[in-house]
C-alpha cells in the first residue's frame, strides 16, 4: 500500500463528512489576439469559486451557458489544470498530486458527459467500453463485473455485443453511467447528463441516478441549466454567473427564498403550469450575459441588474451569509428581501 492509498483508507475509515472542498478555484484560458504582435487575453471561465459537497449529497450548479459550470466540474477533476486555488477530495489535495498519484485517485472521481454518443467510442462494443477502465486498472473477473454493471443500469447481456450507434441515446447514457461506476467511485460529476435526451427518457435516467446514489452512497456534482431537474435531484445548489458563484444554499432556501436578482431572474423563467400558483417575484433584466473575455468591473451582474448603483460598478460584493448555509453575493441583499 503506497502513501496515497494509505491516506484514502484512513480518511474513508474515519467517515469524513465533506467529500469535495473547493477553495478559491480559478481557471483562465489564454486567447491570442493579433497576427504580428500577438497579445494574450485571459478568458476567466472560473474566477475565485469556493464551495463544499458533503458525503452522499447532490450539489447542483446552475446558470446560463457560458457561466463556467462545466469548466468548474472539469477543473475539480483536473481534466483542466487549474490556474489557481485548491481542490480537496476527502482531505486529499487533488491540485497538488503528481500525474501518477492522480491516476491512482481517478477511480474515486468520475464524470458523465452531456452527449452520450460523443462520449462513447463508436468502434468499441458496449462490453469493451465498460471493460476498458477495469482492464486499465487490472481488475479481475472483468466479464462478470461488466454484466453486473449492465444490469445495475437497466440493460441486458444482449446489449454487451452491440455498438453505440445500434442503441438509443438513453441506452447510451446508461452505458456511460455503467462505465463511470466500473471502478466503484465515490464522487461523480454529472455534466448535464440528461439535456440531450427526450423528456420521457430524462425522467428514467434521473430516477436511475437517484437510485444508484442511494445504493452506492455516491456524491454528485450535478451541472445543469434546467432548474426543474436540479430542484428534483439536488440537496443544495450554487448559482453561477460569469465565472462567479452569486448564491449558495439548500434547495428550499434558493428556490423558495431567492436573494440574488440573477437567481430570481432564472427562477422567474420557469414555466408555471398552474396560473393561480404563487410565482417567484419576476425580475426585469436588461441585455444578455457579457463576454467572459471582458467581464464588467465590480459586480459582474451590474450591467443587467435593475437595482445596480454606483458601488456595484466599482466594487465586487463579498459573499454574505443571510442564514445558516445561505450565502449571497450582493451589496444590497438586505434591501431586496
Taking the CA atoms of residue 244, residue 250, residue 256 and residue 260 in that order, the dihedral angle to the nearest 10 degrees is -20
Confidence of residue 283 (pLDDT cuts 50, 70, 90): low
Q: Answer whether 206's CB lies under 8 Å from 229's CB.
A: yes
* Signed CA dihedral, 132, 76, 18, 103: sign only: positive
* Residue 17 to residue 243: CA distance in whole angstroms: 27
Q: By mean pLDDT, which of 68-72, 260-264, 274-278 is the weakest?
A: 274-278
In the DSSP assignment, the letter for residue 166 is: G
pLDDT given for residue 337 in this prediction: 60
pLDDT bin (cut points 50, 70, 90) of residue 275 is: low
Residue 181 has pLDDT above 70, yes or no: yes
What pLDDT, in 10s, does the model give residues 229-265?
A: 999 999 999 999 999 999 999 999 999 999 999 999 9
How many angstroms separate the first and last alpha carbons of the chain? 54
Q: Say what the pLDDT of residue 336 is.
A: 65
Mean of pLDDT values over 115-129: 93
For the chain, domains (ranges, CATH) are 3-234 (3.40.50.300), 260-336 (no CATH)
pLDDT at 11: 43
What's the pLDDT score for residue 38? 75
DSSP bridge pairs for 191: 223
Confidence of residue 274 (pLDDT cuts 50, 70, 90): low
Please, what is the average pLDDT of the chain? 89
At 116, the pLDDT band (50, 70, 90 cuts) reads: confident
pLDDT at residue 199 greater than cutoff 50: yes
Residue 245 φ/ψ, nearest 5 degrees: -85, 125
- Average pLDDT for 81-89: 97
58's enclosing H/E stretch is strand 58-62
Strand bridging mode 84-89 / 219-223: unpaired
d(CA 324, CA 250): 10
Amino acid at each position: 500500500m503506497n502513501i496515497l492509498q494509505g491516506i484514502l483508507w484512513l480518511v474513508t475509515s474515519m467517515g469524513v463528512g465533506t467529500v469535495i472542498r473547493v477553495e478559491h478555484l480559478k481557471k483562465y484560458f489564454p486567447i491570442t489576439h493579433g497576427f504580428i504582435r500577438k497579445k494574450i487575453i485571459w478568458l476567466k471561465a472560473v474566477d475565485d469559486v469556493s464551495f463544499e459537497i458533503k458525503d452522499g449529497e447532490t450539489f447542483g450548479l446552475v446558470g446560463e451557458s457560458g457561466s463556467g459550470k462545466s469548466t468548474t466540474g472539469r477543473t475539480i477533476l483536473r481534466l483542466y489544470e487549474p490556474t489557481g486555488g485548491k481542490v480537496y477530495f476527502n482531505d486529499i489535495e487533488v491540485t497538488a498530486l503528481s500525474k501518477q498519484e492522480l491516476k491512482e485517485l481517478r477511480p474515486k472521481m468520475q464524470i458523465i458527459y452531456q452527449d452520450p454518443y460523443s462520449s462513447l467510442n463508436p468502434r468499441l462494443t458496449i462490453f469493451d467500453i465498460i471493460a476498458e477502465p477495469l482492464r486499465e486498472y487490472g481488475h479481475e473477473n472483468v466479464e462478470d463485473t461488466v454484466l453486473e454493471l449492465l444490469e445495475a443500469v437497466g440493460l441486458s447481456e444482449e446489449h454487451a455485443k452491440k455498438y453505440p450507434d445500434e442503441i438509443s441515446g438513453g441506452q447510451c447514457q446508461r452505458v456511460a453511467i455503467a462505465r463511470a461506476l466500473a471502478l466503484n467511485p465515490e464522487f461523480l460529476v454529472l455534466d448535464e447528463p440528461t439535456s440531450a435526451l427526450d423528456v420521457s427518457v430524462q425522467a428514467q435516467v434521473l430516477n436511475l441516478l437517484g437510485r444508484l446514489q442511494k445504493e452506492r452512497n455516491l456524491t454528485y456534482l450535478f451541472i445543469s441549466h434546467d432548474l426543474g431537474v436540479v430542484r428534483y435531484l439536488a440537496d443544495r445548489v450554487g448559482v453561477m454567473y460569469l465565472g462567479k458563484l452569486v448564491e449558495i444554499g439548500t434547495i428550499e432556501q434558493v428556490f423558495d427564498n431567492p436573494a440574488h436578482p440573477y437567481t430570481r431572474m432564472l427562477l422567474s423563467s420557469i414555466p408555471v403550469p398552474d396560473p393561480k400558483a404563487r410565482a417567484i417575484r419576476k425580475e426585469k433584466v436588461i441585455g444578455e450575459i457579457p463576454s467572459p473575455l471582458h467581464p464588467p468591473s465590480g459586480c459582474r451582474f451590474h450591467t443587467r441588474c435593475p437595482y445596480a448603483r454606483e458601488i456595484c460598478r466599482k466594487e465586487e460584493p463579498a459573499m454574505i451569509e443571510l442564514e445558516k448555509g445561505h450565502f449571497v453575493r450582493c451589496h444590497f441583499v438586505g434591501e431586496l428581501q
